[in-house]
Amino acid sequence: MPTILIVEDDALLLDALTGQLQQLEFSVHTASSVAEATTLLQGQAVDGIILDLGLPGGADGMELLTWARTHIAGLPVLILTARDGIDDRIHGLNAGADDYITKPFNMQELQARLQAMLRRARQPAFTQGSSAAGGPSTAIGSLQIDHGNRSAVLGGEPLELTQREWELLELLVNRCGEVVTRDDVLAAWRAGPPEPGQTAAAALNSNALEVYVHRLRRKLDASNLVIRNIRGLGYMLAKPAE
């Protein structure tokens, strides 16, 4: 039975989330502040956190995320917050959150994304290590990507990628088995510099994203890696068959 810590200061929402997760046979701990959550985490083992960002007591939920990343390696964290700006999403994901959902939200989607996050944590689809150059690398199936050099090798052969294709591939690999929304990809693209030969004003929208997904699929054709369309949400890099 997975154990979840919900960190939320809205008592009604906290009760609703607790009840829903308990019906799904989760064991649930709750906290309404960063201090309370930190104390609980120091004495209790949990399998994942649902974390609000706007918390009382002068400490932001991002402080708890930073603390958890420093003290509890690999603990999955799903941010659930009213902060819906692109910059907020980017900041949360870059700080180490495994997923980011904005309020108001659909309970079924929250449950699905929480369960996907926990499955990925229990059964990682990839291994992490170091590349020959000493930088962090990720291997999944026949694909290996070097995060430091922003390069990829597929089946032992270098994979030629544009800057946007690389950013899309890295995001999908980092969240393998989970849904990556279109907004997640577009936010990551807008946070970085434009591709060589393009202006900063070059259109970055769902139509452009479809083109890049199509190109990336073609480059992965020879592998056992599949980028799936998740209707109404975005894309998911499916775990390769063992």
Mean pLDDT for the chain overall: 84
DSSP per position, 143-163 = EEEETTTTEEEETTEEEP--H
> What pLDDT digit, counting tens, does each position of 160-182 carry?
988 888 889 988 988 888 888 88
Q: pLDDT band at residue 133, thresholds of 50, 70 and 90?
A: very low
Q: pLDDT band at residue 142, thresholds of 50, 70 and 90?
A: confident
DSSP per position, 159-212 = EP--HHHHHHHHHHHHTTTS-EEHHHHHHHHHHSPPPTT--TTS--SHHHHHHH
> What pLDDT digit, counting tens, does each position of 178-202 carry?
888 888 888 777 766 666 655 554 5
Q: What is the pLDDT, as a whole number, of residue 169?
A: 92
Q: Which residue has the higher pLDDT, 54 or 119?
A: 54
Q: pLDDT band at residue 204, thresholds of 50, 70 and 90?
A: low
Assess contact for 27 and 54: CB atoms under 8 A. Answer: no
Q: Exposed e or buried b for every residue in 108-134, given b needs 16+ CB within 10 A?
A: eebbebbebbbbbeeeebbeeeebeee
The whole-angstrom separation of Cα 15 and Cα 29 is: 11
Helix/strand/coil for 225:
coil
Q: pLDDT band at residue 43, thresholds of 50, 70 and 90?
A: confident
Q: What is the pLDDT, as a whole number, of residue 134?
A: 45
Q: pLDDT band at residue 148, thresholds of 50, 70 and 90?
A: confident
Spatial neighbors of 96 by CB under 8 A, at least 6 apart, are 65, 66, 68, 69, 77
> What pLDDT digit, counting tens, does each position of 1-40 carry?
789 999 999 999 999 999 999 999 999 999 999 999 999 9
